[in-house]
Amino acid sequence: MCALCHYTTTPTLRLQADSRDAVGWLEGQGIDLSGLVQLGGHSRKRTHTSARGPVGFSIMKALLDKQAASERIEVIASANVRAVC
C-alpha cells in the first residue's frame, strides 16, 4: 500500500483533513497562496488565491520550473498508469 492510501477512506476526507499541509507544502515550493476569497456556497473566505495570476497556472508553472531546474526529477509523458496504490 502506498503512503497516500492509509490516511482516510475517501479522497474527499483526505483533502479536508490535510488541506492545510498541502497549502503549506505548495507555499514551501515558492507558490504564493496568500490571498483568501469567499466563493459560492461558502460561509467565509477559505479558498486560497495567488496574486501572481490564476492559482492553477501559478501552481503548475512553479512546479514545472522546479522540475526543469532539477536533474533528480524525471517527467514521463504518455505513460499508461495502471494503479496508484
Average pLDDT over the chain, rounded to an integer: 81
Q: Which amino acid is at 60?
A: M
- Helix, strand, coil percentages for the chain (3-state, nearest 5): 40, 10, 50
pLDDT of residue 69: 92
- Has residue 2 got a pLDDT over 60? no
12-27 pLDDT, tens digit each: 666 667 788 888 888 8
pLDDT tier, 3 (very low <50, low <70, confident <90, very high otherwise): low
Q: Give tens-digit pLDDT for 48-73.
A: 888 888 888 988 998 899 889 999 98
